[in-house]
Structure 1
């Protein structure tokens, strides 16, 4: 018989889950759920939105494509359709994920937002509290908790002096769909990562006049080298060469193909692109055409922002630009610290403390997927390890039950 340490749990509906609870129904959560299904382990998958892969479906721009070849982006045991292009579109990737969920019979509980999750030492189980759109609360009680909310759960909106007084339209990149509505307008794009570059390019293609804020150094690499994916080429070389040498080779090719980008205001970091990614999680920009627009001055590169004024922005070099709108391509962050009451496995920034490849498993049945900063290939690798690890314990438990001749109807069977 279980003894629960918090009497308040009886004030809400409680569900005892016969298996893990997965928080998040993006690619990370779907990959773990599929692996558990193959292991024969029941589970509950909770999603705060009303659809799977809500970031992809609701918070990405129309022109988005996968930056890496499809073979590096497929989830476990389910390849992309052969007729898909090398770099699938946003719509194609969403269709792929929907097919993935159907194939493995994954049915998340939608509109279930996790308010808190903590491990109850008294009963040795996780307690996950949720609230739905109607305000109804549920507490799920489980042996395993899989955190699959990922690296990009919440938008990052920096505090910039005068932004509220600017007067024009200000949106985050997650709300940007197309440059059509900005046709003929002067738009300031804050951020020079992959999103900032692509938004600026899309604005150009819709006859807007973008200026892109480049406050820090950035690596820009061609998407392909000698007809091969830059990422694929780097992964191949890393099998035989040290990382520092691969970085030098990549930068040599980048210089040969793209030229000296520093004369356009794009200063390269001191660390190489792979070392910077491994040590600091900063992804290099894969050029899809923005650099050509920068060379032609269709995209204007500007330094950091000092403050916003009514209808304009003042830069750190004293220059003032009249602008009509602002797109904040300032990235995303993990939301784990806001709901997970745990401090040993996750750090304050919402990422596992243990570096890759050891950040997938914590104590007391806690797991994390989608926090490797290695894209969908990192997601797939961790999802396989997590589902196999839980599956092993699950099967061992079933063997113990059979040995003890405990009737199976005494186990709590989940209805999900």
Structure 2
């Protein structure tokens, strides 16, 4: 089909969509959809991240939301590619832009070219997201246009003003806990919409959590995918960054974006006052003192989880040698010629095992559950379709395709392709004694990044060493117990070790919440991470079961994509555009308060 025909059909569909929304024509709306069909919204038409499936659910939800938000000015997005037919026969896609009473929005639409349809096209997927809020007052970052600050007296420098403002800061609207990629991204987006915020971080400087990890750690996603909001990498940076380069970039980002952060400051605990709707947060300050601040909202931006997790394995306490968690491991220099057992076969376990091997240790890996292994070059197949498009467009496509049935369909095909490309590698690993799988429902390693952030390895060299016999794989189902000199197997043999490295992950976000805010708040929030019954990632940058508590977690790419989504929701609640929302146990939203903006601090 020629380009002009595809464009004309997209325009016909767009015009009919605008008509049926204005007329609230449910039957006409159904004619625009294919079977099956999906809608994902990221605060463009609702104050949530949500997805609906099927004509009836989408018609009911989208029409009502569009009427409430007063959708208007729908047109093809001039900043995106023109409508086009896809290589997969009979499919097409296009981008729209539109406005609501809240702000400027955009949509990604993909579906089937259908000659029998009145418009010649039926949508399989509609994804809508908010791009910019219409604000009555200028954001904080625009208030001091000349020098970026208001001098307290003639001659006060920016640095002096920055120190003064930090020392005399009043209680912020938002307290962000953690200033890694998540905390810094959220703070930058809150600044963009004019929400006063304070970020606290236990480290001495930006990027501290990365600097403290093992020396050989490097990012496993290409450079361009790891950009943070607003400020992007120079083109001269390498394709893959070491952890120290990434830590330096976070530190630079915090300074360049003028993030309001207090380092060497910990959140001791936080209590929520239902009457005032304020958090009372107790902070452990660098000088050992305690400071109490009150904030309307708290955002937990603690990344992959809490403190180091060391499972209670039989006899582990009896082992006579050192037991080191992966978070405390730096490098293998001190383990030369020693027999070392690495417990865990996810990314950290493989990286540490390879580093130990390079430093002359005799390395064994203890495997408790199957690992999904994909060579890092093979893994890039997932990004081929968006590798040449602008990052903002790639993010829009990615957010749209995270509609659960769509991403699962993609992952099945992707994993078939990567498993075929890596077949020889997998066969070699299995011969070496490693259990390799394709993950739940054969969705592969990418699915594990969405559901557990563990259980997979993007191979950067360790797999070849295992296949060649340089690193031994031991199945822990054959372990009877740990003993002072190592491990006793069920057959009675003793496998001797000088040291054990526990690459066993970190405590859950639920544990972090319970420690900082109590068991009741943790129970209200419920499980964090993994797909919920509604298809969305549980509690990721959306209202939780505890009012005014938000959570940002996941990978670097997620921080960039979701920080703005979170900032919009917080801004809406503070200004009264949205009520205070809480998530009920069944996953639906309820209105906790009518209008947060009516409250006055006490």
TM range (shorter): 0.7 to 0.9
The 1:361–1:16 alpha-carbon spacing in structure 2 relative to 1, beyond 3 Å, is farther
Residue 306, structure 1, aligned to residue 480, structure 2: yes
Gaps of 5+ in 2: 1-167, 388-396, 578-599
Q: Which residue of 2 aligns with 1:42?
A: 196
- Output one character per residue of 1:19-44: Cα deviation in whole Å (capped at 9) or x when no partner: 21111111111111111222232211
Contact kept? 1:66, 1:88, Cα under 8 Å: yes
Q: Which residue of 2 aligns with 1:346?
A: 525
Q: Which SS does the other structure have where 2:294 is aligned?
A: strand
- Output one character per residue of 1:76-106: Cα deviation in whole Å (capped at 9) or x when no partner: 1121222211101112101110110011111
Q: Which residue of 2 aligns with 1:403?
A: none
Counterparts of 1:358 and 1:133 in 2: how far apart (Å)? Answer: 31
Gaps of 5+ in 1: 1-13, 398-410
Of stretches 277-286 and 108-117 in structure 1, the one that deviates more from structure 2 is 277-286
The 1:170–1:118 alpha-carbon spacing in structure 2 relative to 1, beyond 3 Å, is same
Counterparts of 1:42 and 1:209 in 2: how far apart (Å)? Answer: 53
1:114 Cα deviation from its structure 2 partner: 1.3
Residue 250, structure 1, aligned to residue 418, structure 2: yes
Contact kept? 2:207, 2:246, Cα under 8 Å: no
The 1:136–1:350 alpha-carbon spacing in structure 2 relative to 1, beyond 3 Å, is farther
Counterparts of 2:247 and 2:449 in 1: how far apart (Å)? Answer: 26
Report the number of matched residues.
380
Contact kept? 1:188, 1:323, Cα under 8 Å: yes
Instruction: Considering fraction of residues, name the structure with more strand.
Output: 2
Contact kept? 2:340, 2:499, Cα under 8 Å: yes
> After superposition, where does 1:320-335 map in structure 2 within 5 Å?
320-333=494-507, 334=509, 335=512
- Output one character per residue of 1:223-264: Cα deviation in whole Å (capped at 9) or x when no partner: 013xx7244249889968533222222221221555453222
Residue 143, structure 1, aligned to residue 324, structure 2: no
Q: Which SS does the other structure have where 2:568 is aligned?
A: helix
Q: Which residue of 2 aligns with 1:21?
A: 175
Contact kept? 1:182, 1:206, Cα under 8 Å: yes
Q: Which SS does the other structure have where 1:330 is aligned?
A: coil
Counterparts of 2:529 and 2:291 in 1: how far apart (Å)? Answer: 24
1:392 Cα deviation from its structure 2 partner: 4.2
The 1:122–1:358 alpha-carbon spacing in structure 2 relative to 1, beyond 3 Å, is closer
Output the TM-score relative to the length of structure 1: 0.82
**From 513, 520, 528, the counterpart of 1:336:** 513
Output the TM-score relative to the length of structure 2: 0.58
Q: Which residue of 1 aligns with 2:271?
A: 118
**From 556, 570, 594, the counterpart of 1:376:** 556
Counterparts of 2:529 and 2:377 in 1: how far apart (Å)? Answer: 33
Q: Which SS does the other structure have where 1:56 is aligned?
A: helix
> CA RMSD, aligned part only?
2.9
Q: Which SS does the other structure have where 1:224 is aligned?
A: helix
1:214 Cα deviation from its structure 2 partner: 1.1
Q: Which residue of 2 aligns with 1:191?
A: 344
The 1:30–1:175 alpha-carbon spacing in structure 2 relative to 1, beyond 3 Å, is same
